[in-house]
Chain A
């Protein structure tokens, strides 16, 4: 009997042992990798280290864009150790506007017992955060951009905002174009955490350091940019225009010294993402004429002794009549007078001599068929016709029927300022990463016109400035080579039902070894439609300032 009992006991024990062994086998062998991973996830965590976004500086090393850390305040009811009103009074002591800024949400939070948590939009600085180290108050860190010069150069700088994934990225201008360089590289620490969830830093962990974004040093001349925005604002108001744009370039290097677009004071604020100076296409009008004359001189289609013998009447092409802007005729106009008087009839005969193929060849060489490649986001690609009937070629001679961006037109005109060589516009001068400096690469320069042609066109432009309608605007101490333009604005391919114009003035100073090339465009000025009466005075006022600054 006893023997059989001990047998049963040993069988039962063996059976239990087998079951337990099987269970051990299941958990320790079969489920081992899964459990190992679970344990690792509970004891190890990955912590992201955010890099500092690169700053943006002007040419005088002034920070146009800095980083700023602020904090958003949250309240969590379960952690309150005092009455909410007492808590709010303490917050109000530190930030006097807090209650008034958040009155509505505070009332809702107080009256809704089921709402445990609230976050306010009011921002607190580091000192304020430290003063509010109270149970029930939590802070979230926010990295922002700070602009010491406020809205200065907004079009050039762009903005940053969160994308769909909640990551801060650049929109428009330098912020977007150089997103990769500015953002840096996120670092991480993968290591064990303690009971409170803090990483145990001295235990075995794997980490990769965050690499801060590169600082960007631009060519933006802060003082020039300041005057551009000030004088443009005054000009838009004075000439009751819809908007206006100005871009200034250093002739030899293509460095963009200033660029701004402003709208009328009473119109809607423009988006900081879209920069009309690079994204809006317009018909350049008469400011295009010096380029056509340069093409004709360069190909020897005409010479400086050219005289327009048919300028005493409209130029009839098929059913179209080409006339002058002032309805006057200038018989036997010299080449200088054609530019001085902005003679459309004379220009239409010059382009006929130049020919379509030569025109298109130079048009392409001047970079007008493609984007300039300026280092700003959002540049528009100009469009060009495929068919060129005689009338379209004739209107192109005075800048109608072709479209360019403001920066594209400036790049092309700058070829005259830069002795016939095309340089690409560049906003950024160099990048700095610690002590390492990387120069922004320059594209290959290409010669468009020969130097003899340049000398001839410079003489013509100088003559036109000193003897034309804008002569009285030119300060005596300035030598200027420039041209005004007034382009009609087409609506659905027709100019007939629209009286608005784009008034412009483009030029450089002095004529030899110029310090700057500048374009001013004023959209729909109501006091006078002409570039010589609206854009030109703005150009000369700025030129006087630039002459002292540069």
Chain B
């Protein structure tokens, strides 16, 4: 009924379409996962930043400064710079 080349062409096209759709859908999933991962990382960084900002603020509150001053405690900041030549 069908001639052979035509039949093979149809089979080939179907296989190509299935392969492409598998590849394309897995690519979408991969990309989407990557975007989701990046979003989580961004969220984490934001939270860490928020936390650091909070910790820094607590360290420099008037209550902390007053308490440290009355206990004569302070952070001794030292920086050594080695200058060659």
Contacts and interface: CB of A to CB of B under 8 A. Distances in A.
Interface of A: 62-63, 66-69, 125-126, 146, 148-150, 152, 194, 198, 200-203, 222-223, 226
A398 B62 CA distance: 41
A418 B17 CA distance: 83
B57 A62 contact: yes
B51 A126 contact: yes
B47 A66 contact: no
B28 interface: yes
Interface in B48-74: 50-51, 53-54, 57-58, 60-63
Contact of B31 (A146, A148, A149, A202): A202
Nearest 6 pairs between A and B by C-beta? Answer: A148-B57, A201-B35, A202-B31, A126-B47, A226-B62, A63-B57
Main secondary structure of the interface of B (DSSP, over half): helix
B32 interface: yes
A149 B36 CA distance: 37
Contact of A203 (B28, B47, B51): B28
Interface in B1-45: 28, 31-32, 35-36, 44
Contacts of B44: 126
Kindly state the interface size class of chain B when it binds its partner.
10 to 19
Contacts of B54: 66, 68, 146, 148
B9 to A, nearest CB: 31
A68 B55 CA distance: 11
A148 B53 CA distance: 10
Contacts of A203: 28
A194 B62 contact: no
Contact of A148 (B36, B47, B58): B58
Contact of B32 (A66, A67, A69, A194): A194
A152 B57 CA distance: 14
Contacts of B47: 69, 126
B50 A201 contact: no
B61 A201 contact: no
A20 to B, nearest CB: 28
A149 B64 CA distance: 10
Contacts of B31: 202
Interface of B: 28, 31-32, 35-36, 44, 47, 50-51, 53-54, 57-58, 60-63
A149 B61 contact: yes
13 contacts: A62-B57, A63-B57, A66-B53, A68-B50, A69-B47, A148-B58, A150-B63, A152-B62, A198-B32, A198-B36, A200-B28, A201-B32, A202-B32
Contacts of B28: 200, 202-203
Nearest to A60: B60
A108 to B, nearest CB: 32
A187 to B, nearest CB: 14
A148 B51 contact: no
B32 A200 contact: yes
Contacts of A62: 57, 60
Contacts of B62: 149, 152, 222-223, 226
A201 B33 CA distance: 9
B77 to A, nearest CB: 19
Nearest to B29: A194
Given A148-B57, A226-B62, 19 more contacts: A62-B57, A66-B50, A66-B53, A66-B54, A66-B57, A67-B50, A126-B44, A126-B47, A146-B54, A148-B58, A149-B61, A150-B63, A198-B32, A198-B36, A200-B28, A201-B32, A202-B28, A203-B28, A223-B62
Nearest to B47: A126
B78 to A, nearest CB: 25
Contacts of B58: 148
A222 B60 CA distance: 12
B70 to A, nearest CB: 14
A549 B35 CA distance: 51
Nearest to A225: B62
Nearest to B38: A201
A203 B57 CA distance: 42
A294 to B, nearest CB: 38
A309 B60 CA distance: 60
A66 B47 CA distance: 12
Contacts of B32: 194, 198, 200-202
A69 B51 CA distance: 9
A148 B61 contact: yes
A223 B32 CA distance: 51
A48 to B, nearest CB: 15
Nearest to A55: B53
A223 B50 CA distance: 24
Nearest to A194: B32
A203 B27 CA distance: 12
Contacts of A200: 28, 32
A253 B14 CA distance: 79
B35 A69 contact: no
Contacts of A226: 62
A338 B51 CA distance: 59
A122 to B, nearest CB: 19
Contacts of B51: 125-126
A71 to B, nearest CB: 10
A126 B36 CA distance: 18
A202 B28 CA distance: 7
Nearest to B31: A202
A410 B54 CA distance: 35
A149 B50 contact: no
Contacts of A152: 62
A86 B53 CA distance: 36
B46 to A, nearest CB: 8
A200 B29 CA distance: 8
Nearest to A129: B47
A148 B63 CA distance: 10
